[in-house]
Amino acid sequence: MQRGNEAMGTLTGPWKQLLVNALESNVHLKHSSFVQLATIGSNGRPSNRTVVFRGFEENSDKIVINTDTRTRKIYELKHHPFAEICWYFTDSWEQFRINGRVDVIDGSNTDPVKLQQREKSWFASSVKSRYQYLGPNPGLPVPSDQPQKEFFLDPSAGPVGAFCLLVLDPDQVDYLNLKRNQRVTFTSRPSVDVEKCWTSEIINP
């Protein structure tokens, strides 16, 4: 990988294989699928939290995350649709900082392809994880007199209203390998055929 190396227009970035390799080499660690997602808060300050990586959108390098429409990050992303993921793999000593635009796909989306993608992600989740979308609004105070409420979920039913899909479309990736003392940045730009054109540059760690 040379300084200023440029990749042709492609559906996946040249950094994706590095990430796939890191995921495979750290798969025995439960926390390897946990990433930090930073957004821009309504007060202009950084807003960060841990989310679960749910895979890539089919035939692309877009990152898929499940979340609740009632969380603060949805409000933030609808006002500022850019976010950054920070991912550190403890066994291989690799860090990925992935920056890009986030598409928020909830039940009100009018694109049938995106709604189908949302439904697919819903059924790919465990029944236990689906239950969290039936609970009270995240982030609100718990009333002292609130009774314990039981919820019923039909495993064959489609996604509930609170279920939301986030799809991050990367345009900048900062890769750091501490074992090799190597750091590479990847930057994309639109090409004439609409597909992305990526450039990479080796920089000081």
Length of the chain: 205
To 10 degrees, the CA torsion angle through 130, 135, 138, 143? -160
| pLDDT range class, residue 196, cuts 50, 70, 90 | confident
**Which of these, 121, 77, 68, lies nearest to 101 by C-alpha position?**
77
The two tokens of residue 86 are 């920070």
Judged against a pLDDT cut of 60, whether residue 6 lies above it is answered with no
Residue 194 CA to residue 129 CA, distance in Å, equals 37
The answer to whether the pTM exceeds 0.85 is: yes
Q: Which amino acid is at 162?
A: A
Model pLDDT for residues 12-38, shown as the tens digit of each residue: 789 999 999 999 999 999 999 999 999
Model pLDDT for residues 91-119, shown as the tens digit of each residue: 999 999 999 999 999 999 999 999 999 99
| pLDDT range class, residue 143, cuts 50, 70, 90 | confident
CATH superfamily of 11-138+158-181: Electron Transport, Fmn-binding Protein; Chain A (2.30.110.10)
